[in-house]
Amino acid sequence: MEQESLIKKTCKELGITQKELAERIGFSTTSISKWNKKINGIPKNVEKVLNLLVEHELLKKEYELFRQRILR
């Protein structure tokens, strides 16, 4: 089974489209599409940004759960 692309994984985790991801990180939809199809390798700095976006989203969710528990 082929490993899911980092682009697809990031979009899924953030609940956004490739177009929205492109706008969010400042790249063209063409670049995002090529990276998703593995036509071009994802630059290391972009990999870091994508991983940070996912981590940030997870931390926001954890914070919200923590906050809700405290406010009960």
Q: What is the mean pLDDT of residues 4-22?
A: 95
Closest among 2, 12, 1 to 38, alpha carbons compared: 2
Contact 68, 25 (CB under 8 A): no
SS (H, E, C) 2-67: CCCCHHHHHHHHHCCCHHHHHHHHCCCHHHHHHHHCCCCCCCHHHHHHHHHHHHHHHHHHHHHHHH
Domains of the chain: 6-70 (1.10.260)
pTM (predicted TM-score): 0.81
Task: State the pLDDT at residue 4.
Answer: 82
Q: What is the pLDDT of residues 19-67, one digit of tens each?
A: 999 999 999 999 999 999 988 889 999 999 999 999 999 999 999 999 9
Task: State the pLDDT at residue 23.
Answer: 97
Confidence of residue 1 (pLDDT cuts 50, 70, 90): very low
Task: State the pLDDT at residue 49.
Answer: 96
